[in-house]
Amino acid sequence: MRIKFLGGCSEVGRSAVLIDGKILIDYGIRPADPPEMPAPHNGRVHSVIVSHAHLDHSGMIPKLMNSFPDLFMTPVTCDIALILWKDTIKLGNSHGIHIYDSEDVERVAKCARLFNYRKQFVVDSYVCEMFNAGHIPGSASVFIRNEREDISVFYTGDIKLENTKLLNSASLDEFPCADVLIVESTYYGTEHRKRSELEREFVDSVEDTISRGGHAIIPCFAVGRTQEIVMILHAHGIVPYVDGLGISVFKIFERHPSFIRDSEALSAAFKEAKFINGKRKRKKALSQPSAIVTTAGMLNGGPVLYYLRHVHDDPKSKVLLTGYQIDGTNGRRLLEDKSVETEEGMLRVHAEVEQYDFSAHAGDSELKKLVEHFCRKGTEIVFTMHGDNSEEFAAWIRENIGCNAIAPKNGDEYVIE
């Protein structure tokens, strides 16, 4: 089996792994100016398996549609990705960049072959299967067995091994044995806080902000985080306003209840939440103390900037970041300099700023446990990718588990026999 790493090595973004020159797992984009894509793959790709809808895994897939490959993914991944790709076109246009057009996206919808978790499908001489990865609704870890050579590979994709309000975690017990493991390493070296404590602290902070007469502005990613935060607030009796793309994504999740841990709780939370569509409602949301859940999660555009323009000099208000803020984003600028860039120029923020680690990825000990599990069951080689510390993770595996482990570089190809 030949495994070629086209992107996402020692970095987060543009994930892409090619198996035997035939099956591509993921084909992501790396947000930069201009956006970066995976390395060239020479030849026609027959089939693509999409682990999940996040753009760093799916963002460049419409670009492959000239050759009409078969696209395998879960139904919810397809529905979410279609929205995100259309949004990518719009965003590109507003920056004068053409990435792909809406016809390419339409073609994806036609070529998509949708499978639920634990349903095997066959591509040439390969048997493939997707497993719940617990990362966002529809996210999958991917298993591929080359029947002719009797070699198998398991690609974790982005994975979480702990339940959240929104999702059941991935389960190590349901994963098959594999000769080769390709594991993400986003949080190698970093442990997450206990979810229940984190939720309590977050809710206390929102309640304090409202009771002192301020606005709790809660920037969230549209996919997964918005819905989880609304559920957490609802469970504690707080009715938030919700603004942005997270509302459309909720409607998709509602159509796929089997991918949600407690779909009734999700629907109940959104039934009470107040949706904002338009400026008039935004003004209303700011007319009295409130909690406002809004996109974009890293403050690079979206309605969150409207709210920041209105509360930036109000010391009673607070911005509660709910995810990691990548270097170069407005969110990172807010954390480091207490300023954000808007169309009208730089804005100094005097409102309080807090950050909560509601990560959808496995933490350090979960990643180690996962690799130990696979190696105990016969995995002979581990590739670490998708993270800044992939090299260190590979070294840890070699030293502590005694398994061959490699942190590949973009463009590297390995032959497994």
Site residues (CB under 5 A) for Zn ion?
Answer: 54, 158
Q: Minimal distance in Å, beta carbon 54 to Zn ion?
A: 3
Q: Minimal distance in Å, beta carbon 41 to Zn ion?
A: 21
CA–CA distance, 381 with 149 (Å, rounded to integer): 16
Rg of the chain on CA atoms, in Å? 21
**Residue 56 or residue 391: which is nearer to Zn ion going by CB?**
56
Asked if residues 49 and 143 have their Cβ atoms less than 8 Å apart, the reply is no
**Residue 54 or residue 215: which is nearer to Zn ion going by CB?**
54
Beta bridge partners of 371: none
Structure tokens at 126: 């390969």
Query: Is the peptide bond prior to 16 cis by the omega test (within 30 degrees of 0)?
Result: no
**Residue 214 or residue 224: which is nearer to Zn ion going by CB?**
224
Q: Minimal distance in Å, beta carbon 380 to Zn ion?
A: 27
Kindly report the number of other CB atoms within 10 A of residue 207's CB atom: 16
Asked if residues 361 and 187 have their Cβ atoms less than 8 Å apart, the reply is yes
Amino acid occupying residue 10: S
**Residue 239 or residue 326: which is nearer to Zn ion going by CB?**
326
Asked if residues 411 and 5 have their Cβ atoms less than 8 Å apart, the reply is yes
Q: Which residue is nearest to Zn ion (CB)?
A: 54
Q: Minimal distance in Å, beta carbon 184 to Zn ion?
A: 9
**Residue 54 or residue 312: which is nearer to Zn ion going by CB?**
54
Asked if residues 260 and 179 have their Cβ atoms less than 8 Å apart, the reply is no
**Residue 306 or residue 324: which is nearer to Zn ion going by CB?**
324
Q: Which residue has the tokens 């030949």?
A: 2
**Residue 107 or residue 195: which is nearer to Zn ion going by CB?**
195
Asked if residues 230 and 273 have their Cβ atoms less than 8 Å apart, the reply is yes
Q: Minimal distance in Å, beta carbon 59 to Zn ion?
A: 11
HEC string of 82-145 equals HHHHHHHHHHHHHCCCCCCCHHHHHHHHHHEEECCCCCCEEECCEEEEEEECCCCCCCEEEEEE
**Residue 20 or residue 56: which is nearer to Zn ion going by CB?**
56
Q: Minimal distance in Å, beta carbon 202 to Zn ion?
A: 21
Q: Minimal distance in Å, beta carbon 385 to Zn ion?
A: 13
Q: Minimal distance in Å, beta carbon 223 to Zn ion?
A: 8
The arrangement of strands across the sheet holding 47-49 comes to: 112-114, 70-73, 47-49, 23-25, 16-19, 2-7, 413-415
